[in-house]
Amino acid sequence: MNEFEKMNNENEFNSEINHSVENDVTLTEEEMADAVNVEAVPVEEAEKTEPETVVSENINFVQQPVQNYEEPAARVSYNVKKKKPGIKRYIALAVVAGFVNVAVVGALFFAGYKVGTSDVGGRNKENVLSVLQQQPEKHNSENNTTETANKGAELSTVEISKKVGPAVVGITSKISNTISFFSSEMFSEGTGSGIIISSDGYIITNNHVVEGASAVTVTLNTGSEYEAKLIGSDAKTDLAVIKIIPEEALTVAELGDSSIVEVGEKAVAIGNPLGMEFFGSTTQGIISAINRTITVDGRTMSLIQTDAAINEGNSGGALVNAYGQVIGINAVKVSSSSVEGMGFAIPISEAKPVVEDLIKHGYVKGRPVIGISSRDVTEYMATRQGWPIGVQVMETQLGSGAEIAGLVQGDIIVKADGKEVKTTDELNKIKDTHKPGESILLEVYKYDTGLKEKVSVKLSEERPD
């Protein structure tokens, strides 16, 4: 154990290191407060705090019912893994969805069987890539019209459900959990949704739906089940592509243009809330807002907000416009006893280039990395240790530009390209203005000497583990 590690243990600063290539995950303020035994919220204020608003990704994990379930209090929680509530809560949710959110669960699903046996679009891999590469058409100022992919006659909710419902699938992810006491392996199941984008079986979904899965099964609205292969996934955008080899004709979703979506437009969400028992549910609402910045599990995304009901299990499902075109991939909801109707979807126009890269390369090309994992130095840490506020190196990747430039554990990055950086997010924003192969100039407080040095780091390309 080196001097840096001993110092951190003695002062209770040692945190779990993110062993990924890049510095995208750091301790939150709350976690750091816990590490140094400092309350994040004063007791007298905590007693007055409203019930917590929880931002969560909508993947439903099937586990044993939790008795006496209570929402966590006093902090915002970003939980991917959802515990299944008791059956009474399920029934209540189903009743509310039926009366408030115009859920079309039964009749439209079965009506979709007939549509689901036809090939809508007939796209193979090459064709689906060409569709993803299409650029939105622009506004014509001469006659004050907008020519876009979002055109045609508006459809009723029934027509939208028949058109798009068969293109939305159920996804079951089998996740292995090893119990060390007996050295035995047990499995849990997570369920989500996906959207068919090609007739030969390419399906888009959320990364958190399939992340860590040892096996993935796709269920069509016809009831057919297929094993799926992971083509590529991207945690930063929370997108993934999987593929099945179908033995029947597939209904392919028509992709719209989310860049011209306006607040107040009709929005229809299709997916599998709470798992397969509510497969193919349709809820209707409007576009509540666009370009909403939401942070979940350290990922900051710009999303479409809707009041169409989105629940656990809806992740990866379709948000559809009035023309039956997919404009978003349902991903996140805000849940609290004081919050209703706040769901969020990844804009399809922003998802297209990511999906294209995942199909072609298995990862998103062109992302620069410094080659470190890190944590933010808070004011408390800086005061106690006599350090500057900045981004502290916790580990360097072997052979990375950071290691070659001489960055070591304990060093603190205080500037990047001449701009002050206090957090990993600030450092990443500057880094992301560069391309792989370019260099970023860092000002670093050296842990060993206590002196500041300027270091040029050559950026490499981010690759999956």
CB–CB of 61/82 below 8 Å? yes
CB–CB of 461/394 below 8 Å? no
3-state secondary structure (DSSP) of residue 90: helix
CB–CB of 213/189 below 8 Å? no
Question: What is the C-alpha to C-alpha distance for residues 174 and 185, in angstroms, rounded to an integer?
Answer: 12
N residues, the chain: 465
Residue type, 33: A
The label of the residue with tokens 């439209």 reads 108
CB environment 240-261: b (16+ within 10 A), e (fewer): bbbbbebeeebbbbbbbbbbbb
- Which tokens in the block code for residue 19? 């062993």
Q: Which residues are paired to 230 by β-bridges?
A: 242
Question: Exposed, middle or buried by CB within 10 Å (0-12, 13-18, 19+), for 460?
Answer: buried
The label of the residue with tokens 């905590």 reads 46
Query: How many CB atoms sit inside 10 A of residue 154's CB?
Result: 11
Please state the φ and ψ torsions of residue 52, each to the nearest 5 degrees.
-70, 140
Could you give the residue numbers annotated as active site?
208, 238, 315
CB–CB of 195/271 below 8 Å? no
Q: For the chain, what is the largest distance between any 2 Cα atoms, rounded to a whole number of angstroms?
A: 73
Question: What is the C-alpha to C-alpha distance for residues 433 and 207, in angstroms, rounded to an integer?
Answer: 25
Spatial CB neighbours of 153, under 8 Å, sequence gap ≥ 6: 323
Question: How far is Cα of residue 3 from the mean position of the Cα atoms in its chain?
Answer: 38
Residue type, 219: T
Question: What is the C-alpha to C-alpha distance for residues 289 and 270, in angstroms, rounded to an integer?
Answer: 19
